[in-house]
Chain A
Amino acid sequence: MSELYYSLAEIMITAAAETWRDDGEVLATGIGPLPRLAASLAKSTFNPALQLTDGEVWFTTEPVPPGPRTGATIEIEGLANYDRVFATVWGGKRHAMVAPVQIDRCGQTNISVIGSHSRPKTAMLGVRGYPGNSVSHPNSFFFPAHNTRAFVANEVDYVCSAGYNPERYLARRPPARLDLRLIVTDLAVLDFGGPDHAIRVRSLHPGVSFEQVQDNTGFSLLRPEHLPVTPAPTAEQLAIIGRLDPNQVRKTVLKGDPPGDRRGAG
């Protein structure tokens, strides 16, 4: 049986692209090369209405490749200055996939500090736009390394984005527009489809077991009765990804650029 080779990065891109499938005409933001390629793939295939930026200040007609920009000129279709991006965030016409450092069972995430806030063990970026994003528009998450340091047992060290944690809300009711969608990792695709938005495994990447995902997660995951394997990228998708990423940045994100199908890898 001759099967198409695809890398782990590529199946993560095709799995992540799904998060924008039914969004219609919104700003799609993917932070980091793989989420960005995922948004680009979604726009280039099943949701051409998505609007993308060049990562700086312009909306572009076509996705802009990660890395150096040689080749064809980029057509600009609009101005995406920060004031306008904030307005778009608050208006809700956006769906972002971001790459936090930690996530907990409620979907709360952290990119600010490890350790205490007043004297952190590790100071990272700061909360950036996470708090506003989380209560304004749909959000999805990307984790290149699914492990118990990222999927933490207790609350994240500093709650930067709101989650489904009733303790944090008046009348225990999260804001109406809190809408957490997919979590794409190097092991699986997860979502918030359990009772009270509990995190469940939605599909396992080829060759990964539920136990492996659970062992690398600091909290209990829901296992649906039917647990499919994450669909492999199609030949067409792989060709499009190749065009979207002429600098092959996708090969540099995951250590050793491992294969996407780990069946029989022992």
Chain B
Amino acid sequence: MTVPDKRMSLDEVVGRLSDGMTLGIGGWATRRKPMELVRAILRSPLKDLTVVSYGGPDVGLLAAAGKLRKLIFAFVSLDHYPLEPHFRAARQGGLPVLELDEGLLHWGLRAAAMRLPFLPTRVGIGTDLIRQDAFRTIVSPFEDREELVAMPALKLDAALLHVHRADARGNVLTLSADPFFDELMARAADRVYVSTERLTSTAELDVARHSRYNLIERTAITGVVETPFGAHPTSAAPDYQLDLGHLKTYVDSASSPEAWTTYRSRFIDVSPESYLAAVGGAEKLAQLPVPVY
């Protein structure tokens, strides 16, 4: 048995995904989204995806490119532009959805991670959410007899996550203060592909010192691809911040079909190197100011 080498190219990762899959995408709105992987999916023939996400421009791009069959979400937002324009257009065009509370999404991932069919919760009681077909209610088998919601497991075929550091074996570090629910996405998925700001040696990870940033063990990780600035235009703090200027360009790309075509040819249908140059280069991105939330 040899030590696994999980290094892959962007195209290799995308090549392992298939039409109709359910994909979980890590991060949260404008933070630590695996955008380089998402752009690679846009360049591929992949289609009919069901996406589970705390949504931001990842969902917007996939919606704009017609890659979605269904969206499982609690919100799609660009934070500083609360309403995601590509998502809105798709939603208003009748994109099928399963709408969830933020905590329910977490709970569905946790059920899948625990290999359970559902987890009970009070969240959703009294709202229209639980009138969606996916839900059932149950009555507590204990003396309280309370009516509860059965949140179905959100099983993922694959999860796409963005991390700060990884080694070739799939040991990972997520250095930002908020890990969001990336760990649960990984545990809910059959396969997990991470893009990383930097591929390093295991020694350089210095896991003993960074133990809190090591969200998950390598047995969960399938593939690792090095993508410097791979979360751009979302942030991967502390390495770099949200690019508000590019976010504006992105929002404007929803103003007309021509605007989208232009955006696509400048920022999607290009290599990662050309993308980096088109958005201003590494030096500029490394100096983006800290945004205010």
Binding site for B on A (CB under 8 A): 54-58, 67-69, 79, 81-83, 86, 89-90, 108, 112-113, 117-132, 134-136, 158-163, 165, 168-170, 174-175, 178
A selection of 22 A-B contacts at a CB cut-off of 8 Å is A55-B292, A56-B293, A81-B177, A81-B179, A82-B178, A82-B180, A82-B181, A83-B181, A86-B103, A89-B103, A119-B94, A121-B92, A126-B75, A126-B99, A127-B75, A127-B99, A127-B100, A131-B126, A131-B129, A134-B127, A136-B122, A162-B125
Which residues of B94-121 have CB atoms within 8 Å of chain A's CB atoms? 94, 96, 99-104, 106
Which of B101, B146, B180 lies in contact with A127, CB distance below 8 A? Answer: B101
Cβ A165 vs Cβ B126 within 8 A: yes
Which of B75, B104, B292 lies in contact with A132, CB distance below 8 A? Answer: B104
Chain A interface helix/strand/loop/mixed: loop
Cβ A86 vs Cβ B125 within 8 A: no
Minimum CB–CB distance from A132 to chain B (whole Å) comes to 4
Cβ A128 vs Cβ B293 within 8 A: no
Cβ A82 vs Cβ B123 within 8 A: no
State the CA gap A241–B129 with chains docked (Å).
38
Minimum CB–CB distance from A248 to chain B (whole Å) comes to 15
Cβ B178 vs Cβ A170 within 8 A: no
On chain A, the residues within 8 Å of B101 by CB distance are 127-132
Q: Is B66 an interface residue (CB 8 A)?
A: no
Cβ B177 vs Cβ A131 within 8 A: no
Given A58-B177, A123-B88, A131:B292 Cβ within 8 A: no
Minimum CB–CB distance from A67 to chain B (whole Å) comes to 7
On chain B, the residues within 8 Å of A134 by CB distance are 126-127
Q: Size range of the interface on B?
A: 35 or more
On chain B, the residues within 8 Å of A68 by CB distance are 292
Q: Is B143 an interface residue (CB 8 A)?
A: no
Which of A86, A129, A159 lies in contact with B126, CB distance below 8 A? Answer: A159
Cβ B83 vs Cβ A124 within 8 A: yes
Cβ B123 vs Cβ A135 within 8 A: yes
Binding site for A on B (CB under 8 A): 28, 55, 73-77, 82-83, 87-88, 91-94, 96, 99-104, 106, 122-129, 137, 139, 146-147, 177-181, 292-293
On chain A, the residues within 8 Å of B104 by CB distance are 131-132
Closest-by-CB residue of B relative to A129 is: B102
Chain B interface helix/strand/loop/mixed: loop
Minimum CB–CB distance from A66 to chain B (whole Å) comes to 8
Cβ B292 vs Cβ A67 within 8 A: yes
9 residue pairs, one from A and one from B, having the closest CB atoms = A162-B126, A123-B91, A126-B75, A170-B147, A132-B123, A56-B293, A131-B101, A81-B178, A159-B128
Cβ B126 vs Cβ A174 within 8 A: yes
State the CA gap A125–B83 with chains docked (Å).
6
Which of A79, A121, A178 lies in contact with B177, CB distance below 8 A? Answer: A79
State the CA gap A265–B207 with chains docked (Å).
67
Other than the given A57-B177, A120-B92, A131-B126, 11 more pairs (CB < 8 A) read A54-B293, A83-B106, A83-B180, A86-B106, A124-B83, A127-B99, A131-B123, A131-B125, A135-B122, A162-B127, A169-B126
Cβ B74 vs Cβ A126 within 8 A: yes
Cβ A175 vs Cβ B177 within 8 A: no
On chain A, the residues within 8 Å of B92 by CB distance are 119-123
State the CA gap A205–B137 with chains docked (Å).
43
Cβ B126 vs Cβ A135 within 8 A: yes
Given A57-B177, A81-B179, A132-B103, A117:B293 Cβ within 8 A: no
Minimum CB–CB distance from B119 to chain A (whole Å) comes to 12
State the CA gap A90–B101 with chains docked (Å).
13
Cβ A169 vs Cβ B125 within 8 A: yes
Cβ A83 vs Cβ B179 within 8 A: yes
Cβ B28 vs Cβ A123 within 8 A: no
Which of A57, A69, A125 lies in contact with B178, CB distance below 8 A? Answer: A57
Which of A90, A128, A135 lies in contact with B75, CB distance below 8 A? Answer: A128
On chain B, the residues within 8 Å of A82 by CB distance are 28, 102, 178, 180-181
Closest-by-CB residue of B relative to A120 is: B92
On chain A, the residues within 8 Å of B123 by CB distance are 90, 131-132, 135-136
Cβ B99 vs Cβ A112 within 8 A: yes
Looking at B77, B127, B292, the one whose CB has the most chain A CB atoms below 10 A away is: B127
Closest-by-CB residue of A relative to B28 is: A82
Cβ B75 vs Cβ A125 within 8 A: yes
Cβ A126 vs Cβ B126 within 8 A: no
Minimum CB–CB distance from A28 to chain B (whole Å) comes to 17
Cβ A86 vs Cβ B102 within 8 A: yes
